[in-house]
Structure 1
Amino acid sequence: MHVAYICIDPGIPVFGSKGASVHVQEIVRSWLARGADVTIYCTRTGDAVPADLRGVRVVSHPIARGSGPDRERSQREAAATLAAQAVQDGVTAVYERYSLFSDALTRITSASSVPGILEVNAPLIDEQRTHRTLHDEAAALGALKNQLSAAAVIACVSDPVAAWIAGHAAPNFPTKIITAPNGVNVNRIGPSPEDNGAPTVVFVGTLKPWHGVRDLIEAKALSDGSWNLRIVGDGPEGAGLRELAAVKGVDVEFTGASTPAEVPALLVGCAIAVAPYPRTEREEEQYFSPLKIYEYCAAGLPVVASEVGQVPAIIDHQVTGLLVEPSNPAALAAALDELAGTPLARRTMSVAARRFAENHSWDAVLDAILEGSDL
């Protein structure tokens, strides 16, 4: 089987360090594990190519930086060009990560009569309209409807995303829509003994407002001081968060940006992981399936996380971690203090977290997506 993995989104380097990049790489690995020959068709490659994926063929059609109608038109042109190349390459199946303005899956399945799977990770049209600028919404909606009609399976990362897709589908829509939450590579990330001394609490992610790291630093300042804090990653809020830590007089280890290959080593020795997502104005904005929480669990780390969106479906309160009120640094501090002071509870949660992760591997995610299909 020759699978075309397609990602037209210029904001996602397939060999980058952001969560979306990890998702791309892991799905490609799972296709390879099934014995497929995979070619990646994308608009942005990135330069952090994992050693085990260096043999994967990549066809790139770069899009110039910028914004506005020209960029939207460039995305449509890239989809057409890459789809034509995939048809020429003789692919026998298509797996596309949903991107604004792309109709690549539609073009390939129509030209070659091969099965196609559309993976949807966010309500991109709503996101673009709300947080950025969407110039040609009619074109974006038209491309989405065409993709939905052409796909044999539509795999949505969460139930809210699946509901969004269903809302855009035609009446009596025959295509199979399923919910396929994120997974984790349990071979790449595993448990390790805690370091001696005060427990280390770790956060992994891009330092952007919607990850709630400001609340985490506030919580550290309010805590009883019984735990250390390590923040893995960097981003637009990096400088401001370092300044906040200095103002609050708290000692925080900022590791800086890291590649996915470096993350497992940065989790070694940690005792607790945290996902302090803030409260949002609208509940429907909490549609994401948090990749970091699955990785925390694979590392055998009890997780303290905000009780928002899909998180309660992942973290079993008092079993694999603790759920806290979002945007409440005092509650977050109290939960972290509690776990830091109870090593037996941490050990019990560690075993449960790892067991949970082992049942949510990326191979299992792809198996669920393909179940009942012709692939």
Structure 2
Amino acid sequence: MRNLPDLPFLIYSASFARQCHALLSKQPPDFVYQRYSLLNSSGAEVASRLGCPFVLEYNGSEVWIARNWSTPLFFEGLADRIEQANLRRADLIVVVSKALRDEVVARGLPPERVLVNPNAVDPLRYHPGIDGEPVRRRLGLEGRLVIGFIGTFGPWHGAEVLAQAVRPVTAQLPDAHFLFIGSGSGMPSVQAIIAGDSVGARVTFAGMVPQEEAPAYLAACDILVSPHVGNPDGTPFFGSPTKLFEYMAMGKGIVASDLDQIGEVLSHGKTAWLVRPGDPTDLAAGIIALARDPDLRRALGEAARDEVVAKHTWTAHVGRILQKMVELELLDMRALVLPGAA
């Protein structure tokens, strides 16, 4: 396995497809929905064997991701062919951004079979009524103006850019404190920047927290930051950051990169303060602007909450998929009860 690092993914796909078919063959589902993952064709196989529609959620090319953000795949050619085969087999392809729709269409897929459906949030789990004081007390953050970030510290998250903004922000705001929630590959770089700038006393690293505790950590913050950066090869940013919608649902002031979908979902001066991607100086200026204007923070947070509840809940997200399936005649409207319907 060490000499063939990608082989386990192929074995898993075949095994999972066999088990799913055995479980579902007696009572086939109305459709099979799969979020595409590396070297995985199980959804397409199961749907073909059961004779039902196949819906593929495509969040980006695993070949591109490995090449640009990780280590190139051993079976890169095979991975590309499996990826393309999944896209061609799918009756409906659900993508989270316009950039991904453009990529899929450029691969030769019919645009009518592609649905742009950004990520979303459960507004009942993430909401302004959550008490963040217990987290503040536990972390010793009482009386501080807390600037928060949550994520897996991936190359696209821009956590290093936020780390570079700590020194200029804290130089002007004596009560400011940064809370980094989560961990990942970029953490050593972030910690090195913080140590090099001698601002460790103004930063708390919460580490990984259980998913169910994430809302309470966000509630402990006054400002939430989404400092995403562009793709290293200059292609459009294709992500739909879940944290963005969670931030909006919390009703907090948001400082975010004006980057592709992020800048489409958020509106500068209305639902967030948008900054130039990858620019720690502009990011620091945005944080300082919201820190010094609590009324603006409150107004932006309330407007962001209203926007996400109106447009970006998981219920609405699922409803758009089902409606598209009816439009493509993959589901019968007469047998369909859309989420939220009485």
* Aligned with 1:241 (options 190, 193, 197): 190
* Aligned with 1:322 (options 264, 270, 273): 273
What are the residue-to-residue correspondences of 1:102-121 with 2, within 5 Å?
A: 102-121=40-59
Q: 2:139: which partner in 1?
A: none
Q: 1:356: which partner in 2?
A: 307
What are the residue-to-residue correspondences of 1:298-313 with 2, within 5 Å?
A: 298-313=249-264
Q: 1:15: which partner in 2?
A: none
Distance 1:112 1:332, change over 3 A: same
Aligned pairs, number? 310
More moved, 106-115 vs 266-275? 106-115
Q: CA deviation at 1:300?
A: 0.5
CA contact (8 A) 2:247 2:254 kept: yes
Q: CA deviation at 1:279?
A: 4.1
Q: CA deviation at 1:144?
A: 3.1
Q: CA deviation at 1:291?
A: 0.8
* Aligned with 1:332 (options 283, 298, 303): 283
Distance 1:320 1:175, change over 3 A: closer
Give the structure-2-normalised TM-score: 0.82
* Aligned with 1:214 (options 133, 153, 160): 160
1:166-224 CA-partner distances (Å, limit 9, x unpaired):
22335xx4862110100001111111478773421110011233322222122110121
1:296-320 CA-partner distances (Å, limit 9, x unpaired):
0010112111122321012110111
What are the residue-to-residue correspondences of 1:152-301 with 2, within 5 Å?
A: 152-169=91-108, 173=110, 176-192=113-129, 197-223=143-169, 224-226=172-174, 227-250=176-199, 251-284=202-235, 286-301=237-252
Letter in 2 for 1:235: G
Determine the C-alpha separation between the residues in 2 that align with 1:76 and 1:100: 9
CA contact (8 A) 2:38 2:79 kept: yes
Determine helix, strand or coil for the equivalent of 2:122. Answer: coil
Please state which structure has a larger fraction of its residues in helix: 2
Q: CA deviation at 1:88?
A: 3.5
What are the residue-to-residue correspondences of 1:112-131 with 2, within 5 Å?
A: 112-130=50-68, 131=70
Give the structure-1-normalised TM-score: 0.75
Unaligned runs of 5+ in 2: 134-141, 326-330, 337-342
1:250-289 CA-partner distances (Å, limit 9, x unpaired):
2101111112111011112321100112344433251100
Letter in 2 for 1:346: R
Determine the C-alpha separation between the residues in 1 that align with 2:38 and 2:255: 34
Determine the C-alpha separation between the residues in 2 that align with 1:161 and 1:274: 24
More moved, 331-340 vs 70-79? 70-79
Determine helix, strand or coil for the equivalent of 2:119. Answer: coil
Determine the C-alpha separation between the residues in 2 that align with 1:292 and 1:67: 35
Distance 1:141 1:330, change over 3 A: closer
Determine the C-alpha separation between the residues in 2 that align with 1:366 and 1:65: 40
More moved, 325-334 vs 86-95? 86-95
Determine the C-alpha separation between the residues in 2 that align with 1:222 and 1:89: 63
**RMSD between superposed Cα atoms in Å:** 2.5
Determine the C-alpha separation between the residues in 1 that align with 2:260 and 2:250: 23
* Aligned with 1:74 (options 1, 11, 23): 11
Distance 1:247 1:98, change over 3 A: same
Determine the C-alpha separation between the residues in 1 that align with 2:242 and 2:281: 25
Distance 1:102 1:297, change over 3 A: same
CA contact (8 A) 2:237 2:260 kept: yes
1:323-362 CA-partner distances (Å, limit 9, x unpaired):
1112221111111111000011011111101111212101
Distance 1:147 1:70, change over 3 A: closer
More moved, 143-152 vs 329-338? 143-152
The answer on 1:372 being equivalent to 2:321 is: no
* Aligned with 2:73 (options 114, 118, 134): 134
CA contact (8 A) 2:119 2:241 kept: yes
Determine the C-alpha separation between the residues in 1 that align with 2:275 and 2:48: 48
Determine the C-alpha separation between the residues in 1 that align with 2:268 and 2:162: 19
CA contact (8 A) 1:287 1:309 kept: yes
Determine the C-alpha separation between the residues in 2 that align with 1:144 and 1:281: 22
CA contact (8 A) 2:271 2:300 kept: yes
Letter in 2 for 1:225: L
* Aligned with 2:33 (options 80, 95, 102): 95
Determine helix, strand or coil for the equivalent of 2:211. Answer: coil
Letter in 2 for 1:228: H
Once the two structures are aligned, what percentage of the paired residues are identical? 28
